[in-house]
Amino acid sequence: WVLRQRQVLDSTADKNNKKLWSQLIATVDQCTLCSLHESRTQTVFGVGRRDADLLIIGEAPGAEEDRKGEPFVGRAGQLLDAMLASVGFIRNDVYIANILKCRPPNNRDPLPNEVELCEPYLKTQLSIINPKLIVALGRVSACTILKTKESLKNLRNQTFQYQGIDLLVTYHPAALLRNPNFKKPAWEDFQMIRDKYLIQD
């Protein structure tokens, strides 16, 4: 009986989450809270499993992402896929989202008011996905959500908390494209992430 009750509760929670999730998608899709809606082709909500153990957070969509409506589909995204594949994952095993859901013109950094208006969407995504771990890609993404000005060097190899969930910081794949020397330490970060958080024992 207890097991049955648990299953009923789980499926009710899942139905609620499903409903919240589709409401959130619709809200983001129609969002006009900041001026980025004027220049976007479309919003970029996120991609992957709604119950993923790992949530990967980037900064904001670039030109390709704005065109396709999916995060990390340009050159940096292909490298992110390769990094994930090197530790045995595909993008649909995890969840990938950006802090901003719309592309900033000329790929400039997110502005504080854009972050203030858009971050609640990310927080809602996070509360529904409830992952074991968040990985922030790059200094801008990490500093924006952690409200800090630390260097990437200081941010790596530390465990932070965001909305009560462990958060680690690694290189942005675009940085790896600019400087291939960062590939090895980034790969080591992903191996550590897999071993520490994603392999069930």
Piece of the chain touching ligand URA by CB under 6 A; list 59-67, 117-125, 147-155, 179-187: 59-67
CB of 50 to ligand URA, least distance (A): 18
Interaction of residue 104 with ligand URA, rule CB under 6 A: no
Interaction of residue 76 with ligand URA, rule CB under 6 A: yes
Interaction of residue 59 with ligand URA, rule CB under 6 A: yes
By the 10 Å C-beta count (0-12 exposed, 13-18 middle, 19+ buried), 171 is classed as: buried
Cβ within 8 Å of residue 148, ≥6 positions away: 142, 155
Going by the DSSP 8-state scheme, the letter that residue 196 receives in this structure is I
Among 28, 36, 45, 72, binds ligand URA (CB under 6 A): 72
CB of 200 to ligand URA, least distance (A): 29
CB of 129 to ligand URA, least distance (A): 17
Closer CB to ligand URA, 48 or 61, in the complex = 61
Q: What is the maximum alpha-carbon separation in the chain?
A: 58
Among 58, 104, 110, 131, binds ligand URA (CB under 6 A): 58
CB of 6 to ligand URA, least distance (A): 37
Cβ within 8 Å of residue 96, ≥6 positions away: 46, 47, 48, 55, 56, 58, 71, 72, 80
Length, in residues, of the chain: 201
Identify whether the C-beta of residue 61 lies closer than 8 Å to the C-beta of residue 71.
yes
The DSSP element (H or E) to which 8 belongs, if any, is: helix 2-29
CB of 190 to ligand URA, least distance (A): 17
Report strand pairing: 133-137 vs 165-170: parallel
Closer CB to ligand URA, 20 or 69, in the complex = 69
Closest residue to ligand URA, based on beta-carbon distance: 58
Q: Which residues bind ligand URA (CB under 6 A)?
A: 58-62, 65, 71-72, 74, 76-77, 98
